[in-house]
Amino acid sequence: MLWENIKVNLKATNMDLTDPINDYVISRVTNLGKLLKKIQSNGGEVLVYFEVAKTTNHHKKGSVYRSDCSITVDGENFYTSAEEEDLYASIDACKDKIFREIKRGKNKKEVLFRRGARSIKKMFRGLSKRNPFTSK
């Protein structure tokens, strides 16, 4: 299984943590495994902290349920939260947001690497075209 070495900590606030909620959160979090497969195969450590909460006990409508997700991947932290009317909808929204956050961080690293490589290539091209012995 892809998520063998990943620690998932689940916490419930102002509500009971039932088995269906636990299973649903684990199934949603493990869907992120496709994105983190390369990190885990290289021996990287992935920690997941997920919290589901009921924000208020006296409201019946509106954004009553909140879910927070924090993922630590080799020292990098990614955090999102979502508030929805339904608990399962808030879990799905939080999973989608954390997926975008991790993907954005991954793309950011690639872009910075390519930008640095381009600037080094430009520098080497500029050095090879210039002749230091001729004056202009």
Q: What is the mean pLDDT of residues 6-15?
A: 84
* Statement: residue 1 has pLDDT above 60: no
Q: What pLDDT, in 10s, does the model give residues 23-65?
A: 888 888 877 776 776 666 666 677 889 999 988 777 777 778 9
Q: What pLDDT, in 10s, does the model give residues 54-102?
A: 887 777 777 789 999 998 877 788 899 999 988 999 999 999 998 888 8
> How far is Cα 22 from Cα 13, in angstroms, rounded to an integer?
13
Burial class of residue 97, CB neighbours in 10 A (0-12, 13-18, 19+):
middle
Domains of the chain: 7-98 (3.30.160.100)
Question: Phi/psi of residue 9, each to 5°?
Answer: -105, 125
Q: What pLDDT, in 10s, does the model give residues 100-131?
A: 888 887 777 778 888 888 888 888 887 666 55
Structure tokens at 95: 């999973």
pTM of the model: 0.72
